[in-house]
Amino acid sequence: MAARLGDMTQIRFALAQIDTCVGDLAGNAAKVLDYTRRAAGEHARVVVFPEMTLTGYPIEDLALRRTFRQAAWNQANELAAALAAEGLGGLYVAVGTVGTDPETSKPRNRMVVLHEGVVWAGYDKHFLPNYGVFDEFRIFSAGDRSVVIDVDGARIGVAICEDIWQDGGPVAELAERGIDLLLTMNGSPYEEGKTHTRMELAVRRAREVGAPLIYLNQVGGQDDLIFDGGSFVVDSDGTLLERSPMFMEDLSYFTLDTDAARQTPTSIAADLDPDEEVYTACVLGLKDYMRKNGFKGVTLGLSGGIDSALVAAMAADACGGGNVWGISMPSMYSSDGSKDDAADLAANLGAHYDIQPIEPLFAAFQSQLALEGVAAENLQARIRGVIVMAYSNAKGLLALATGNKSELACGYSTIYGDAVGGYAPIKDLLKTRVWELARWRNKAAAAGMGIGGLAVVGNERRDAGVPLPDGVMIPVNSIVKAPSAELRPGQKDSDSLPEYGLLDRVLSAYIEHAHGRADLLADGFDEATVDTVMRLVDRAEWKRRQYPLGPKVTALAFGRDRRLPVTTAFRE
């Protein structure tokens, strides 16, 4: 609602931080209608939604289908009409969608404004990111003009995501044209530490255009990406005016006073603990992957080790302990301690718990195959994979792979064995981080956070969750004992790998920060360790490219390169 009081124009913006679903045009439109209704009830004049609201984001090659673009166009028009029919036509509703370049017929990443029953000619994203997880230049053609919307005499400049990450282009044009506010819609995936980067960038752009900036971000999991929300508003001098919570849908407000030199701050969501942030990101990713793909429950092997324990805890937080089917699959090499730890975990979570010994199955295979060495170790892992998939098929459950980034990076994993699964929640967490998150989750449990009681995941605000019997989620034994694959007598991870503290530091430098051999030595790592890790990683990368393991998990890059040829003789 615009109110002119003397000289003063106040325009109320609603920040609709929603979780869209790729391809679900009708569902996303219904959510826009719902949030707009609520925003109107709070006297908003402008409602802003995330990048590509109607289509979901990222839509990859769906954008190239003519039938999809036609359906999106129809949906936008129906939505504008529906808003007007409900008496909401007076609002300015900014939604993202897919457009078509009239000249080349290529798709475009477009913002349209729904107003008075009409889909206004939109703004097309100018800078199309083409690096890391983004392939937009492949799919879209670029817009080439800046757009200013007049709302009650206020000049609202608009931009989409990458447009503010690059110098020049539409933001520079808007700075020249002069605006009262820069409105940006974003689909910016979560990465550790990115909150700070985004804020710095927004402050720089707000200064450039000399006006407040609204940064509205998508929230929710989409395949291997997790969008963290955390939308915010900064003033032209860099003051933080508003911040929405991370990892949940939200509807917050900001009122622009076009005549004031400085705007008035409203609500600012608190920071999360770094471990809580990553844990919550993983749970949201899994939860949305299940919901958007129609899974009600999960199944996984519970070895008693820390990896499967953390994955089970995340799964319980995502879908409730009663929807988790844990399978203990002991072999002749499994310790009693491991079996007890697995049973304790399942009891803590209220999870289903079955014991399926693999010894008789292993014996049956060995009577025919008589395998030795690594082939025999892999056989055990693959028998377990067959059992997990049998549960998945028979009960319609999502199979979870429990490998962590350290062991996957080093190839300490069996393809079609422990790597089996449709989703791998901790695939992008180094082993030392796995321990940290387990400790954090237990600390939170001790402080009273029950199962599913996460601060911010999904759409539930902080509540206690389902109580944990003794205030413990993950058995302490699983955290403190020496890691072992238990595939031969007395086996320890440290027989094959450097100690995890050292290994993870080398892996972080080598695969996450792309340090070459010379860089690693300059980092102070000893030559023997560097060469061991490089050999393991290069071999494992090659094997992984040969046998794709399953979905990626978080926006954290798995390795050094996004795409490498399977066949390459180059080693560094």
Residues 127 to 166 in contact with its own copies, rule: CB under 8 A: 130-131, 135, 137-138
Q: Does 23 bind its own copies (CB under 8 A)?
A: yes
Nearer to its own copies, 387 or 456 (CB): 387
Nearer to its own copies, 241 or 283 (CB): 283
Q: Does 379 bind its own copies (CB under 8 A)?
A: yes
Nearer to its own copies, 285 or 320 (CB): 285
Residues of span 540-559 touching its own copies by CB under 8 A: 542, 546-551
Among 5, 261, 394, 480, binds its own copies (CB under 8 A): 394
Nearer to its own copies, 27 or 448 (CB): 27
The answer to whether residues 187 and 50 touch, using CB atoms and an 8 Å cutoff, is yes
543 marked as part of a ligand binding site: yes
Nearest approach, Cβ of 350 to its own copies (angstroms)?
Answer: 24
496 marked as part of a ligand binding site: no
Among 317, 310, 308, 364, CA closest to 339: 308
423 marked as part of a ligand binding site: no
Q: Which stretch binds its own copies (CB under 8 A): 51-59, 167-175, 232-240, 438-446?
A: 51-59
In whole angstroms, how far apart are CA 237 and each of 186, 205, 385, 554? 22, 10, 57, 34
DSSP summary character for residue 256: E
Concatenate the DSSP letters of all residues of 114-165 into one string.
EETTEE---EE-S----STT--HHHH-PPP----EEEETTEEEEEEEGGGGT
144 marked as part of a ligand binding site: no
Among 168, 337, 448, 516, binds its own copies (CB under 8 A): 516
Residues of span 159-198 touching its own copies by CB under 8 A: none
Q: How many Cα atoms within 13 Å fall on the side-chain side of residue 478?
A: 33
Nearer to its own copies, 110 or 544 (CB): 544
Tokens coding 253: 């407000």
Nearer to its own copies, 167 or 547 (CB): 547
Residues of span 290-319 touching its own copies by CB under 8 A: 292-293
Among 350, 422, 450, 458, binds its own copies (CB under 8 A): 422
Residues of span 357-376 touching its own copies by CB under 8 A: 357, 360-361, 364-365, 367-369, 371-372, 374-375
301 marked as part of a ligand binding site: yes
The answer to whether residues 510 and 537 touch, using CB atoms and an 8 Å cutoff, is yes
304 marked as part of a ligand binding site: yes
Rounded to the nearest 10 degrees, what angle do helices 500-507 and 527-546 cross at? 70
Which residue shows structure tokens 């919307």?
A: 149
Cα separation, 108 vs 147, in Å, equals: 15
DSSP summary character for residue 297: -
308 marked as part of a ligand binding site: yes
Q: Does 223 bind its own copies (CB under 8 A)?
A: yes
CB atoms within 10 A of CB 470: 11
Cα separation, 120 vs 130, in Å, equals: 28
Catalytic residues: 51, 125, 161
Total interface residues for its own copies by CB under 8 A: 79
Cα separation, 395 vs 383, in Å, equals: 18
Concatenate the DSSP letters of all residues of 186-249 into one string.
E--B--TTHHHHHHHHHHHHHHHHTS-EEEEE-EEEETTEEEEB--EEE-TTS-EEEEPPBSB-
Nearer to its own copies, 45 or 292 (CB): 292
Q: Does 522 bind its own copies (CB under 8 A)?
A: no
Q: Does 22 bind its own copies (CB under 8 A)?
A: yes
407 marked as part of a ligand binding site: yes
The dihedral built from the CA positions of residue 196, 198, 199 and 201, taken in this order, carries a sign that is positive
Q: Does 562 bind its own copies (CB under 8 A)?
A: yes
Nearest approach, Cβ of 541 to its own copies (angstroms)?
Answer: 11
Among 185, 420, 456, 506, binds its own copies (CB under 8 A): 420
Cα separation, 404 vs 427, in Å, equals: 5
Nearest approach, Cβ of 117 to its own copies (angstroms)?
Answer: 26
Cα separation, 439 vs 300, in Å, equals: 21
Among 385, 453, 458, 483, binds its own copies (CB under 8 A): 385
Residues of span 56-85 touching its own copies by CB under 8 A: 56, 58-62, 64-68, 71
CB atoms within 10 A of CB 152: 16
In whole angstroms, how far apart are CA 282 and each of 216, 384, 430? 22, 24, 13
| Cα dihedral 458/460/462/468 (nearest 10) | -80
Among 406, 444, 422, 481, CA closest to 279: 444
130 marked as part of a ligand binding site: no
Nearer to its own copies, 245 or 385 (CB): 385
Nearest approach, Cβ of 181 to its own copies (angstroms)?
Answer: 32
Nearer to its own copies, 45 or 552 (CB): 552
Cα separation, 504 vs 16, in Å, equals: 39
508 marked as part of a ligand binding site: no
Among 41, 487, 395, CA closest to 253: 41
SS3 sequence, 552-567? Answer: CCCCCCCCCCCCCCCC
Nearest approach, Cβ of 21 to its own copies (angstroms)?
Answer: 6
Residues of span 429-488 touching its own copies by CB under 8 A: none
Which residue shows structure tokens 């609709």?
A: 16
Q: Does 264 bind its own copies (CB under 8 A)?
A: no
Q: Which stretch binds its own copies (CB under 8 A): 109-117, 352-360, 433-441, 500-508?
A: 352-360
323 marked as part of a ligand binding site: no
Contact pattern for its own copies over residues 93 through 132, marking x by CB under 8 A: -------------------------------------xx-
Q: Which residues contribute to the annotated binding site for L-glutamine? A: 131, 188, 194
Residue stretches of the annotated binding site for ATP = 301-308, 402
